[in-house]
Amino acid sequence: MRWSQAYIPTLRDDPANAEAASHRLLQRAGFIRQLSAGHYSMLPLGQRVRRKIDRIIRQEIDGIGGQQFHLPAMHPAELWKKSGRWEIMGEEMFRLVDRKGSDNALGMTHEEVFAELASEISSYKQLPQLWYQIQTKFRDEPRPKSGVLRVREFTMKDSYSLDLTWEGLDEQFDRHHGAYQRIFERFGLEAVDVEASSGAMGGSDSVEFMVRSDAGEDWIVTCPTCDYRANLERATSQVPDVSDPASVPEPQQFATPEIRTIAALADAFPDIAAPDRQIKTLVYMLDGTFTLVLMRGDHALQEQKLQDLTGAVDVRAAQADEIRQRLGALPGSLGAVGVTDHPIIADEALKDRRGLVTGANEDDWHLSNVDVARDIAVGEWADLREVQERERCIVDGGTLDLWKGIEVGHIFKLGTKYSEAMGAIVQDEHGESKPIVMGSYGIGLERSMAAVVEASHDDGGIIWPWEVTPFHVVITLLRQQDEAVVEAGDRLYEELTDAGYEVLLDDRAERPGVKFADAELIGVPYRVTIGPRGLESGVAEFTTRSTMETTEIPLEAVAAHLP
Ligand code: ATP
Ligand code: MG
């Protein structure tokens, strides 16, 4: 491709409000343009990268036996009602009504449609299957941001495994795990596989692939001395024991005027109310059910854990008036002692604790001497605590790290939820009916592209890894009016193109400085600069983008210097 004829609209300045490096650079380097919040056009350079990502994914998923489909992006509401997700997906699902008055959804994911297709399978002999597609997804994200990292319309490779047994699912899951590692390695990404929450998908095992980056929206907990790696939404850690008295008298009410926080109570009553001797009483509406959630005073609730535990779709903190009406006090003086008409969920760190302090459900009053087992009607115990940096690993006691990551891929064991809902039932070898055991596996294409840029750029621009670069090499002509230069450039262009390289020939009538800066910005891994002076002795400059090192090499040796 000749640069003079290519559409590569590079910009001098960063776009407004673009903080993420990938957003700034993909926009400035002419790879993407925003149509509206969360909707981006891929310009020719962006599309070249996207196609390579697409091809690598297809090669690796085909390599584990995948068969490519292409499903509709718009689905009838009935399908989503069958699985129960018409309600569950809430505002994140785009919905529209057609001229006949029927409800439709724009697909956020395709478990329902694939399970519906799988309902045509009747015998175990037709299993296992591995089905996939590379298709547009629509999600009305609350906060589209960071260029193509979080958008409302994006391309996903989504695959679905179909097996007769859970053992079969385990095998397909492991094969996917391997394929994902190869895919991200070929993208040039260091993607770490971490334990994850399954969220609204349902299912059991769930692993996310995370790329370390401050532009990420997930927090990851890792142990430096063992294999423990988990999303913060799921992570646990050791909780050192606190020693309590062997027995305590009845709870006793004491006045705490104006005291509303854990810290203030600890300051005012240091002998009895250190934060780890307090019960923090949080109040939530879980699908409309008023629920008390108890944490140790110095521990934070991880909301996703609460959501995973209860399966609640609509999770929100209760409002002051709702709380006052049911408990008789306002936040700051709340507690669960004596509460019997609302569900109480407590974090495991409170189990068997004695001599604690909690709110008395009367403004400006607290209770001391609380024995959790004796005084509180806990309905459910669970791990709800959010891990903090530098806590100890539950596996080997190592000091935990906490870092931000971009989720580029996610694999889950779905089980039989969707096959049961859609009637994907087969006869096993004994003629018994069994729901198909499913797995589901996703990778975001544009987010992967952006993650590559986050992981691989410098002040001058993008540095594309070899397998996903839009071009392998740019030939920059100095003095494009010099005939010998033009001829040498054309010759090299043809030689490299014939050898299978993708070459961009910068024949624009621009100053060398502009050409160099543009080549650096768009991030092509190698630049060959041809000018009249070098030509006299048959050499060109060879610049490696990642290091910006330049050497002189004979023109005929250029191909040998490329990977
Ligand atoms: P997130 O927690 O970031 O919203 P998710 O858990 O909703 O992601 P999945 O439903 O597992 O994501 O989708 C699979 C993959 O699709 C993700 O790993 C990611 O690469 C991509 N993806 C999901 N949502 C978006 C989005 N809004 N914009 C771009 N890519 C996305
Ligand atoms: Mg999401």
DSSP string across 501-512: --EEEE--S--H
The pLDDT tens digits for 332-386 are 999 999 999 999 999 999 999 999 999 999 999 999 999 999 999 999 999 999 9
The string of pLDDT tens digits covering residues 274-329 is 999 999 999 999 999 999 999 999 999 999 999 999 989 889 999 999 999 999 99
Ligand 1 contacts (CB < 6 A) are 109, 139, 141, 150-151, 154, 156, 407-410, 442-444, 446-447
Peptide bond connecting 128 to the previous residue in cis, omega within 30 degrees of 0? yes
DSSP annotation of 386: P
Helix, strand, coil percentages, rounded to 5, for the chain: 30, 30, 40
Nearest CA to ligand 1 atom 29: 150
Ligand 1 atom nearest to 444, measured from its CA = 20
Rounded to 10 degrees, what is the CA torsion of 197, 70, 42, 192?
A: 30
Average pLDDT over residues 145-150: 96
Mention every residue, 6+ apart, whose C-beta is less than 8 A from residue 178.
64
Burial grade of 361 (CB within 10 A; 0-12, 13-18, 19 or more)? buried
**Which atom belonging to ligand 1 lies closest to the Cα atom of 150?**
28
Cα separation, 134 vs 106, in Å, equals 15
- Structure token pair of residue 248: 């305590």
506 in Cβ contact with 8 (< 8 Å): no
Chain segment 153-176, per-residue pLDDT in tens: 999 999 999 999 999 999 999 999
Supply the residue whose CA is at minimum distance from atom 22 of ligand 1. 444
Give mean pLDDT, residues 445-473.
Answer: 98
Given a cut of 80, is residue 46 above it in pLDDT?
A: yes
Amino acid at 219: W
Q: Is the pLDDT of residue 18 over 60?
A: yes
Centre of ligand 2 to C-alpha 311, Å, is: 16
Q: Nearest C-alpha to atom 20 of ligand 1 is from which residue?
A: 444
- pTM for the predicted model, two decimal places: 0.94
pLDDT at 205: 87
- Residues of the chain above pLDDT 70, percent: 99
pLDDT at residue 199 in the model: 65
CA 482 to chain centre: 51
Counting ligand 1 atoms within 8 A of each CB, the residue from 407, 408, 449 with the most, and so the one to mutate, is 407
C-alpha span between 181 and 208 (Å, rounded) = 11
Torsion over CA of 133, 410, 113 and 35, rounded to 10 degrees?
-70
Task: Give 287's Cβ-side CA count (13 Å radius).
Answer: 10
Nearest CA to ligand 1 atom 21: 444
Which pLDDT value is given to residue 201?
Answer: 55
pLDDT of residue 17: 85
